[in-house]
Amino acid sequence: MIEKSDKIILISNNHKKHYIGGIKQMISHYIGIKNFIKNKKSYDERIMLKADFNVKLGTILFNGWKDKEYLNDYAKEYKKLIYHFNNDENKPNNLKILDSILTYQEVFKNYNLDEKVKKYYRY
């Protein structure tokens, strides 16, 4: 069952709620990147790739949800999804998928950000 509120929620057989908006987006990006690598060009003719290139795919989240369990649960579900991506026999060899989630707070912690940005992202 899918429940719509401010987040897209999937209620699994064990009645546990899972945030699936990001999982759905990761599947879409994975399929798009596989097609991009296969064709070595995008729909925009100006974006072309050399013969030897690598692509990294991952997810970055805002660590500011009121219910921290959603972030922790998403991280667990992400790992399950990545397992399936990495075992896809059609996964290109030059596609590396990050093993765990990133957060904006982790990625930008050493950047000299404007104070308003730091406050917004709770640094």
Average pLDDT of the chain is 80
44-103 pLDDT tens trace: 666 666 667 788 999 998 887 666 777 888 899 999 999 999 999 999 999 999 999 998
- Residues in the chain, how many? 123
The mean pLDDT value for 11-23 works out to 69
pLDDT band of 9, cuts 50, 70, 90: low
Q: Which residue has the tokens 């429940």?
A: 3
- pLDDT above 80 (res 112): yes
The mean pLDDT value for 109-121 works out to 83
pLDDT at residue 41, rounded to an integer: 61
* Contact status, residue 43 vs residue 32, Cβ threshold 8 Å: no
CA dist., res. 21 & res. 1, Å (int): 14
Give, rounded to a whole angstrom, the gap between the first and last alpha carbons of the chain. 36
